[in-house]
């Protein structure tokens, strides 16, 4: 019978100092990595906050440019309004007046959005708020006239358009709206007894 020899380990156990060498090497690598990154961090920090220089065209420094919290929502509101998405336009203009309650443009945009949504009660409130801020401008009167035209109140619409033209006789938008109003009233026909089609099936 063959005697079995005891198996020797392939690697001799490391002594105390030898077992620490890999740890020391790893720590040294980390220190060198941090040392190489630190100068770069200083470079990027300086670049993040440049010294403002005046704009050569307008002479303004960047920190002097006026920005209002309502600028972005008004821009988006106008964009959505002209896309025909009046619900989203109303939301953006509402956000604008909440951020800057003295922004008349935002109030007029909000009122016009309410007009297109058929919420004329809320449109009137928004127009009134804009009027308190800027007075009766030709643009505001024109918008109010268009609002009354949408409601079918042609008498009030005409009064607003006429007032707008007195302030700005060459305003193309008001002139166009007045022409639209005139053509609308020209083709509206009612029977003498006030019934549409005079009792005949339409």
- Same domain membership, residue 141 and residue 112: no
pLDDT-derived band of residue 182, with 50, 70 and 90 as boundaries?
confident
Report, in angstroms and rounded to the nearest whole number, the Rg of the chain calculated over CA atoms: 37
Q: How far apart are the first and last CA of the chain?
A: 120
199 φψ region: left (φ > 0), alpha (ψ -120 to 50), beta (else): left
Distance CA 99, CA 42 (A): 38
Domain termination site, one of 75, 109, 135: 135
131 and 70, same structural domain? yes
Question: How would you class 113 by CB atoms within 10 Å of its CB: exposed for 0-12, middle for 13-18, buried for 19 or more?
Answer: buried
pLDDT at position 5 is 54
**Is the model's pTM score more than 0.75?**
no
CA distances from 105 to 6, 101, 128 (A): 94, 10, 13
What are the Cα distances from residue 31, in Å, to 20, 34, 36, 37, 80? 17, 5, 9, 10, 55
pLDDT of residue 55: 43
26 CB contacts (<8 Å, ≥6 apart)? none
Q: If we measure between CA atoms, which residue out of 112, 69, 105, 73 comes closest to residue 91? A: 73
145 shares its domain with 158: yes
What tens digit of pLDDT does each residue of 151-166 get? 999 999 999 999 999 9
Domain of residue 182 covers: 136-187
Q: Which residue has the tokens 């509101």?
A: 77
Residue 95 pLDDT class (50, 70, 90 cuts): very high
SS3 200: coil
Residues 147 and 177 in one domain: yes
The model's confidence at residue 20, banded by pLDDT at 50, 70 and 90, is low
- Same structural domain, 84 and 96: yes
What is the spatial distance between Cα 169 and Cα 142, in angstroms, rounded to a whole number?
Answer: 12
Residue 125 to residue 72: CA distance in whole angstroms? 23
Higher-confidence residue of 33 and 85: namely 85
Asked if residue 123 and residue 160 are part of one domain, the reply reads no
Residue 17 has pLDDT above 80, yes or no: no
The mean pLDDT of 167-177, rounded to a whole number, is: 93
Find how far residue 31's CA is from the centre of its chain.
48
How many structural domains comprise the chain?
Answer: 2
């Amino acid at each position: 019978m063959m005697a079995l020899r005891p198996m020797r380990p392939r690697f001799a156990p490391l002594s105390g100092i030898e077992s620490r060498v890999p740890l020391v090497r790893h720590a040294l690598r980390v220190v060198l990595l941090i040392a190489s990154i630190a100068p770069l961090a200083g470079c990027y920090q300086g670049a993040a906050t440049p010294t403002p220089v005046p704009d050569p065209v307008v002479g303004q420094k960047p920190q002097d440019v006026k920005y209002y919290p309502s600028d972005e929502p008004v821009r988006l509101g106008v964009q959505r309004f002209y896309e025909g998405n009046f619900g989203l336009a109303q939301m953006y203009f509402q956000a604008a007046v909440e951020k800057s309650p003295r922004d008349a443009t935002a109030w007029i945009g909000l009122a016009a959005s309410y007009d297109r949504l058929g919420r004329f009660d809320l449109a009137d409130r928004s127009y009134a708020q804009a009027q308190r801020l800027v007075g009766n401008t030709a643009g505001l009167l024109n918008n109010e006239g268009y609002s009354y035209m949408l409601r079918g109140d042609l008498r009030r619409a005409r009064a607003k358009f006429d007032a707008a033209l007195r302030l700005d006789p060459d305003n193309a938008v008001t002139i166009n709206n007045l022409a639209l109003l005139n053509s609308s009233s020209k083709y509206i026909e009612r029977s003498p007894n006030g019934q549409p089609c005079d009792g005949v099936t339409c």
